[in-house]
Amino acid sequence: MAKYAAWGTALMRGAVEIAQVTNISGPGISLDTVDVTEHDSATAWEEVVATILRSGEISIEIAYDPNAATHKNAAGGLLNDLITRTPTTYSLVFPSTPPATWTFTSCYVVGFEPSMPVDGALTASVTLKPTGAVTIT
């Protein structure tokens, strides 16, 4: 079984890679369940049925460049997608052989928080929230 370093994972907005991504986490995909245990269950163990798949959120850290096309408040930028409330296709492309891709055809930028420490780099934390199905290939 192959093992891979995370270095080289790409977050894509359509066909364009988001610039200067330093860390990616998520999404935490999960499945909701509902308890359907009955008083007359023979074993007294809980019984559940599957309900809604949850797409979770994607958190990224970027070395923030206010003038980078994929960061700024202009067409194609993360800030623009947030401010205009535009659902956009985002993908995670994993550095595997062949590359595995998780595609979110309708994904909102729901958070953008810059950080400006006096003794550090200009960075930003960005949160994406997919809506609808996640395509894993």
Structural domain contains residue 118: yes
Per-residue model confidence (pLDDT) at position 41? 85
Per-residue model confidence (pLDDT) at position 2? 85
- In a 3-state reduction of DSSP, which class is residue 60? strand
Per-residue model confidence (pLDDT) at position 55? 94
Per-residue model confidence (pLDDT) at position 42? 87
> Which residues form the domain of 112?
10-29+56-136
Structural domain contains residue 42: no
Per-residue model confidence (pLDDT) at position 1? 84
Each of the 137 residues of the chain gets a pLDDT tens digit; together they read 888 899 999 999 999 999 999 999 999 999 999 999 999 988 889 999 999 999 999 999 999 999 999 999 888 999 999 999 999 999 999 999 899 999 999 999 999 999 999 999 999 999 999 999 999 99
Are the C-beta atoms of residues 57 and 18 closer than 8 Å to each other?
no
Structural domain contains residue 40: no
Structural domain contains residue 126: yes
Structural domain contains residue 25: yes
Q: Is the dihedral of CA 76, 60, 104, 9 positive or negative?
A: positive
CA 110 to CA 104: how far, in whole Å?
14
Structural domain contains residue 51: no
Q: How many domains does the chain have?
A: 1
Structural domain contains residue 100: yes
Structural domain contains residue 47: no
The torsion angles phi and psi of 7, rounded to 5 degrees, stand at -55, 135
